[in-house]
């Protein structure tokens, strides 16, 4: 009897609960981010006040992404859209135009001094743009992006000001700790061992911030193929410098790096996450997980 009463009471409340959750879902700010890493930064600041969708999903390659009609719909319905900029999303301008969205388009990397795409070892003349877009590989840059995201969310949704400020402050504290952790772990690797081969040149900001040298047969974009000459130069370099860290990436074809490893006898040290998170079952479902995973892989390959 008692049990029946309880069930009846819950049943009576159900319509109210449904109405309440429907209303709050409608009030949530609809946010679109261009790729998964940026979406995670936005989620950490937006919290419960926002619903965040990522255009390029986990393990997706933003360099060569082809937006779908569903993406145009997401952008059309968004209250605010965050992009990386620096030429990372070559497809975004057309998508925004096609969607006819009225949402502000926020460049999350504003205020970050970009590295020049010098071309490094290969200098592909046909690479588009002049800046290296992979700024998030330095935690200091991610902190700048979080500040930009906070200000943009406050501008679009001033009523959420206190929430966005406190979410951002809590997340920035975690990023401060992460930044110290990366610097500490890399500092313990002997300087002459800090040499790494990856498939595309996505770790320049990590290299500059923490003192590791990365070499890649593909340039900062993945749309250009590495030439036979570039590959031969890297193979020579691995042999001369006895580079022990050869890594795959989650967004690029692994065959090239595997070929280089087998020709030089270098061991493949694992996978580094460059331009995308993994899904929730992978090693890097969040930005903090991504940096920690890469750090662990580097430390074990370069000191082992
Ligand atoms: Zn990239």
Summarised one tens digit per residue, pLDDT across range 271-304 is: 999 999 999 999 999 999 999 999 999 999 888 7
CA of 274 from ligand 1 middle (Å) equals 6
> Domain holding 64: CATH number?
3.40.50.1980
Are 116 and 130 in contact by the 8 Å Cβ rule? The answer is yes
Residue that wins the pLDDT comparison between 120 and 282: 282
Looking at 178, 207, 240, which one is the last position of a domain? 178
The mean pLDDT of the chain is 88
CA of 202 from ligand 1 middle (Å) equals 5
Are 247 and 304 in contact by the 8 Å Cβ rule? The answer is no
Of 49-58, 155-164, 171-180, 239-248, give the lowest mean pLDDT range: 239-248
CA of 164 from ligand 1 middle (Å) equals 29
Buried b (16+ CB within 10 A) or exposed e, 17-56: eeeeeeeeeeeebbbbbbbbbbbbbbbbbbbebbebbbbb
pLDDT digit string, tens, across residues 172-228? 999 999 999 999 999 999 998 999 999 888 999 999 999 999 988 877 777 777 888
Residues 206 and 256 occupy one common structural domain: yes
What Rg value do the Cα atoms of the chain yield, rounded?
22
What's residue 125's pLDDT? 38
Residues 41 and 115 occupy one common structural domain: yes
- Is residue 162 pLDDT above 60, yes or no? yes
Judge whether 139 lies within some domain.
yes
pLDDT digit string, tens, across residues 65-96? 999 999 999 999 999 999 999 999 999 999 99
**Tokens 């997340």 sit at which residue?**
171
User: For residues 300 and 298, what is the distance between their CA atoms, to the nearest angstrom?
Assistant: 6
Beta strand ranges found along the chain (DSSP E): 29-35, 50-56, 80-83, 105-107, 195-197, 213-215, 245-249, 268-272
Looking at 178, 200, 229, which one is the last position of a domain? 178
Residues 197 and 160 occupy one common structural domain: no
Q: Is 94 helix (H, G, I), strand (E, B) or coil?
A: helix
Residues 95 and 77 occupy one common structural domain: yes
Are 201 and 219 in contact by the 8 Å Cβ rule? The answer is yes
**Closest residue by Cα to residue 287 from 108, 84, 42, 112:** 42
Buried b (16+ CB within 10 A) or exposed e, 246-262: bbbbbbbeeebbeebbe
Looking at 122, 146, 178, which one is the last position of a domain? 178
What's residue 8's pLDDT? 56
CA of 69 from ligand 1 middle (Å) equals 24
Judge whether 20 lies within some domain.
no
Dihedral class, residue 278 (left if φ above 0, else alpha if ψ from -120 to 50, else beta): beta
Judge whether 14 lies within some domain.
no
Number of domains observed in the structure of the chain: 2
Residues 59 and 84 occupy one common structural domain: yes
CA of 288 from ligand 1 middle (Å) equals 18
Residues 34 and 159 occupy one common structural domain: yes
**Closest residue by Cα to residue 164 from 18, 74, 261, 49:** 49
Judge whether 15 lies within some domain.
no
Residues 275 and 192 occupy one common structural domain: yes
Residues 154 and 90 occupy one common structural domain: yes
Residue that wins the pLDDT comparison between 265 and 100: 100
pLDDT digit string, tens, across residues 218-230? 777 777 778 888 8
Q: At what angle do helices 287-303 and 36-46 cross, to 10 degrees?
A: 130
Judge whether 18 lies within some domain.
no
CA of 65 from ligand 1 middle (Å) equals 12
CA of 8 from ligand 1 middle (Å) equals 56
Judge whether 167 lies within some domain.
yes
pTM reported for the whole predicted model:
0.86
Residue-number span of the structural domain to which 296 is assigned: 188-303
Residues 247 and 126 occupy one common structural domain: no
What's residue 5's pLDDT? 54
CA of 88 from ligand 1 middle (Å) equals 8
């Amino acid at each position: 009897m008692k049990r029946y009463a309880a069930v009846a009471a819950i049943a009576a409340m159900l319509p109210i609960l449904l109405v309440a959750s429907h209303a709050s879902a409608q009030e949530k700010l609809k946010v679109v981010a261009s790729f998964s890493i940026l979406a995670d930064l936005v989620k950490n600041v937006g919290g419960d006040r926002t619903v965040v969708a990522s255009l390029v999903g986990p393990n997706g390659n933003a360099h060569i992404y082809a937006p779908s009609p569903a993406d145009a719909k997401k952008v059309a319905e968004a209250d605010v859209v965050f992009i990386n900029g620096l030429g990372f999303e070559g497809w975004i301008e057309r998508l925004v135009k096609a969607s006819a969205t009225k949402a502000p388009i926020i460049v999350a990397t504003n205020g970050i001094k970009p590295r020049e795409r010098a071309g490094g070892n290969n200098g592909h003349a046909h690479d588009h743009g002049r800046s290296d877009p992979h700024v998030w590989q330095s935690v200091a840059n991610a902190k700048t992006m979080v500040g930009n995201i906070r200000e943009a969310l406050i501008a679009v949704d001033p009523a959420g000001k206190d929430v966005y400020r406190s979410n951002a402050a809590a997340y920035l504290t975690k990023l401060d700790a992460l930044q110290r952790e990366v610097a500490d772990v890399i500092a313990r690797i002997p300087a002459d061992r800090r040499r790494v081969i990856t498939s595309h040149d996505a770790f320049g900001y990590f290299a500059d911030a923490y003192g590791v040298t990365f070499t890649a047969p593909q340039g900062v974009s993945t749309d250009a193929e590495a030439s036979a000459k570039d590959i031969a130069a890297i193979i020579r370099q691995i042999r001369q410098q006895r580079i022990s860290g050869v890594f795959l990436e989650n967004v690029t074809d692994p065959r090239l790096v595997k070929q280089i490893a087998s020709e030089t006898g270098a061991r493949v040290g694992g996978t580094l996450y460059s331009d995308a998170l993994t899904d929730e079952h992978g090693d890097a479902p969040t930005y903090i997980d991504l940096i920690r995973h890469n750090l662990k892989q580097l430390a074990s390959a370069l000191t082992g």
